[in-house]
Structure 1
Amino acid sequence: MLAWFLPLFLIFLMIGVPVYFAMLAAPGFMLYLNGQERDIALMYRNIFNGIDNGVLLAIPFFMLAGELMNKAGITERLVAFSQTIIGSVRGGLAQVNILSSMLFAGMSGSAVADTSALGSMLIPAMEKQGYTRKFAAAITAASSVIGPIIPPSGIMIIYAYVMEVSVAALFAGGIIPGILVGMGLMIMTRLMANKYEFPPAKRFVIEGVHISNAENFVARVIARLMLATVLYPLAINVITIQIADHFKHVLFHFTCALIVTEILFQIQRRLVSNEFRIVAKRAVLPLLTPVIILGGILGGVATPTEASALAVAYSALLGLIILRSINLKDLGPILVKSAITSSVVLLLVGAAMAFKTVVSLSHIAEDLAVYILALTNNPLLLLLLINLLLFIVGMFLDAGPAIIILGPILAPIFIDLGIHPVHFAMIMSVNLTVGLATPPMGLVLFVASSVSGVKVETISKAILPFLAVEIFVIFLITYFPVISLGIPSWLGFVKDADLMGPIVGSFF
């Protein structure tokens, strides 16, 4: 009888009961009918136990960092930088929208923040240049799902917490899938631009930009140090001079990398306009945020929570002192907004952990596993079926609660079939993230509707070509594990993993 809590939960969702209350009321009611009053107390106690974990502190910190960066005016800088790179092609402003989402993803990790921040700037600008408002809203909503895929990602932190997987491994695994989604959307936009004769982008942000002497100096130094760091391994391999003292050996090769870097910068001064250089320099400090986050986590210097706190400190330093685009009066509303957004996420996490308790008590996970394996033991077919299930769930349920509810049920089945935990995490995370932009209940559709003033039904029709691209990328991620496991394996987070997968492996 207890297993009936799941159909009751679905009924509550269909009649419009908020997800938080549905996750608590449905299992609580069935436990009461089943005479398990003590388990009701256990379930509700797990609401608090579920959020009493240091790993989850990273979620409010990342949200606060995103709010600070947005208030500091980095959205305009990222859009301007994107436009100088790709904005001159036909349909360029739509491409700018996608590239800006990819850059913004490395700072906020939130699809809602992406849609709101970029949509309020780019949707009116796209309409002004001849795009239909429904197309502008659709491409903004579709590209915003890149936010939770490219790290930092709140839903990956939740998955790592629930399934006890390395956050660093998940962050590394999300880089290529996020880039693939962005590239796929760009290709689709280019094809549509040729068919519907989209206009080339016109400059609407870049005109009249300026940069202070202090910011110009800092940006130049940081840009050179970052490029030299990238070139350093090449310098070690090319320049074979050996120096006994390790410190002097490192210093010598890094100095060589700096010299090459300076030569490259002098060459680019002759190739690009002064305007491009100014716009690029204005983007350096904001783009340092994902470097701090990912560099700290993937380099083993900081935990995700520590890296998120560093991101907040850097964002505050950038907005309050360096750019001076935030004053002390702005901090109150920023903190309140971040607290409210974080509270919603953490309440859902707590409720989902309570829901998970009843899933365990009802043994529904074991029963469902037996049923799924009875259908077929072919992992390829099972992955297809599970993608369909996740896609449907993503239409109606937010990614965080869906991961907490379904993760413990589905992950063990596929891990037993040889699917790597990080690979399955990417399949689940990307699929449910795409659900944020999937009709009829995708959250970012409603945010895009609010920002653009276009009806959700209209955006839902316009977004279908982009959803087709994202679904195609999901299947690439599903059947080609190297997309998810390549970088984690290279960085040492994943060992003894089958990078080829059953499809590619069958040809060798």
Structure 2
Amino acid sequence: MSLAILLGVFFLSLVIGLPVAVTLGLSSLCYLLLEGIPLVVIPQKMFAGMDVFVLLCIPGFILAGNLMNGGGITPRIVRFANAMVGWMRGGLGLTNVAGSMLFGGISGTAVADAASIGGMMIPGMIRAGYTPAFSAAVTAASSTVGPIIPPSMPMIIVGALSGISVGKMFIAGAIPGIMMGLAMMVTCYIIAVKRGFPHQPWQGFGELARSFTGAFWALAMTGLIIGGLLSGIATPTETAVIASVYAFFVGCFVYRELPLRKVPKIIIDSAVTAAAILALVGLANVFGWILVSERIPQMISDGVLSITDNKYVVILLINLVLLVVGMFMETIAALIILFVPLLTLATNVGVDPIHFAVFAVLNLMIGLTTPPVGICMFICANIAKAPVTTVIRALAPFLLTNIMILFLVSYIPALSTWLPSLME
């Protein structure tokens, strides 16, 4: 009965639109009251969930991304991407995807990517003759590359939940992220040719060199992060701190577009964002503790394995579950609630934990562009001032492309396990 109340309050709260953190806390509170469990469990389990060293990555990478973005990174990345691919048919769309791939190696979040790249690219694409729906769709779809290419906020959460190496997961996402970006560029090009979208003249190697020079310090931050992790010189937490210091130095003294007076506000905004994420992690840990105490993970695993123990069928079922969940639930909350139960199921049929982590995150990233709760889709539709229904139709080819990449990554483990194996 208490478990039914827990799940009922949880889903009802989601339906009426309460914040996910409030939903988790309220449903957990109802369960504890019904079971007569002392409410002191809530702060105890919240603290236990947040008292994980690797979670220090979150404020570090958020601060680094905000400092770089405030220091003029976005226009430089867009200019470099435009110099590389803007001359092709549908060049601004290709620039949009390429810019997201480059920006994703700094921000680590899809929402930041959609807002930053979209705020610049969507109005420019519309002025150049692209439809508002297509401009919003390509921006929303490409923004999901950000949390796959390292660094990645969802993978930090996964590491805190499961004990899987965050550094290895960061590296594991590199090849799938690049594949996802290139596949979307091909899709964008095919659509552009079919619809006769415009392209720009080739700007010459001089502009390519100048734009690369302008974006070099921004791009070097990705190299700093990946290089530190691959070499083993720094842990993910140390890398986040180094990236923040680097971002401050580049924004203030290299690009000189980050006034010192703005730094305190950026630090406060980053702290607020990180605190909201950590509060969500803490409350979700309470909810997760209740699920474990009720043996829900084991019940899910036993239930699926009673139907089939075929590894490939189980992977398919996990993908279908996560795709559906991603349509309705915020990414971090979905990971906190479902990752451990599904990881148990996956490892029981022989799936490598790092491989599972990558395709699980990729699943939920696709959910950011699907109705009814696709936040990146809504952000981009709002920027483009386009009806959501038209954006959904324009998104369809990109969703199909991303799902194809998802199944390649799901069924070819080497795509996500080869690079981490080099770290051993």
Q: Which category of TM-score, normalised to the shorter sequence, fits these structures?
A: over 0.9
Note if contact 1:77-1:279 (Cα within 8 Å) is conserved in structure 2: yes
What is the aligned partner in structure 1 of residue 207 from structure 2? 275
Of the structure 1 ranges 130-139 and 394-403, higher mean CA displacement relative to structure 2 is found in: 394-403
Alignment of 1:328 with 2:260, yes or no, is: yes
Note if contact 1:43-1:355 (Cα within 8 Å) is conserved in structure 2: no
What is the aligned partner in structure 1 of residue 7 from structure 2? 6
State the 1:54 CA deviation: 2.0
Cα offsets for 1:358-406 (capped at 9, x unmatched): 0111111222221111121111111111111100111111211211111
1:314 to 246, 252, 259: 246
Percent identity of the aligned residues?
Answer: 39
What is the aligned partner in structure 2 of residue 399 from structure 1? 331
Query: Equivalences for 1:320-359 in 2 at 5 Å?
Result: 320-359=252-291
- Amino acid paired to 1:21: V
Q: Secondary structure at the residue paired with 2:368?
A: helix
Q: For the structure 1 residues 2 and 409, does the alpha-carbon distance in structure 2 shift closer, same or farther, using more than 3 Å as the test?
A: farther
Instruction: Give the TM-score of the pair, scaled to structure 1.
Output: 0.81
Alignment of 1:72 with 2:71, yes or no, is: yes
2:419 to 487, 491, 505: 487
State the 1:44 CA deviation: 3.6
CA distance in 2, matches of 1:274, 1:435: 40
State the 1:202 CA deviation: 5.8
Q: What is the root-mean-square deviation in Å for CA atoms of aligned residues?
A: 1.5
CA distance in 1, matches of 2:200, 2:421: 40
CA distance in 2, matches of 1:194, 1:426: 33
CA distance in 2, matches of 1:375, 1:28: 34
Note if contact 1:43-1:357 (Cα within 8 Å) is conserved in structure 2: no
CA distance in 1, matches of 2:8, 2:310: 28
What is the aligned partner in structure 2 of residue 374 from structure 1? 306
Note if contact 2:133-2:381 (Cα within 8 Å) is conserved in structure 1: no
Cα offsets for 1:465-507 (capped at 9, x unmatched): 1111111111111111111111112332xxxxxxxxxxxxxxx
CA distance in 2, matches of 1:382, 1:469: 22
What is the aligned partner in structure 1 of residue 236 from structure 2? 304
What is the aligned partner in structure 2 of residue 364 from structure 1? 296
Note if contact 1:66-1:107 (Cα within 8 Å) is conserved in structure 2: yes
Aligned residues: 423
Of the structure 1 ranges 359-368 and 91-100, higher mean CA displacement relative to structure 2 is found in: 359-368
Note if contact 1:129-1:202 (Cα within 8 Å) is conserved in structure 2: no
Note if contact 1:91-1:193 (Cα within 8 Å) is conserved in structure 2: yes
Note if contact 2:297-2:344 (Cα within 8 Å) is conserved in structure 1: no
Cα offsets for 1:421-453 (capped at 9, x unmatched): 001101111101111111110111222133222
Alignment of 1:166 with 2:188, yes or no, is: no
What is the aligned partner in structure 1 of residue 113 from structure 2? 114
Considering only CA atoms, is the larger Rg found in Structure 1 or Structure 2? Answer: 1
CA distance in 2, matches of 1:475, 1:459: 24
Q: Secondary structure at the residue paired with 2:193?
A: helix
Note if contact 1:2-1:362 (Cα within 8 Å) is conserved in structure 2: no
Instruction: Give the TM-score of the pair, scaled to structure 2.
Output: 0.97
What is the aligned partner in structure 2 of residue 15 from structure 1? 16
What is the aligned partner in structure 2 of residue 33 from structure 1? 34
Note if contact 2:323-2:367 (Cα within 8 Å) is conserved in structure 1: yes
- Amino acid paired to 2:403: I
Note if contact 2:97-2:142 (Cα within 8 Å) is conserved in structure 1: yes
User: Where does structure 2 lack aligned partners over 5 or more consecutive residues?
Assistant: none
Q: Secondary structure at the residue paired with 1:437?
A: coil
What is the aligned partner in structure 2 of residue 45 from structure 1? 44
CA distance in 2, matches of 1:123, 1:132: 10
Query: Equivalences for 1:175-254 in 2 at 5 Å?
Result: 175-201=174-200
Q: Secondary structure at the residue paired with 2:316?
A: helix
Cα offsets for 1:149-174 (capped at 9, x unmatched): 00000100110110100011101110
What is the aligned partner in structure 1 of residue 95 from structure 2? 96
What is the aligned partner in structure 2 of residue 140 from structure 1? 139
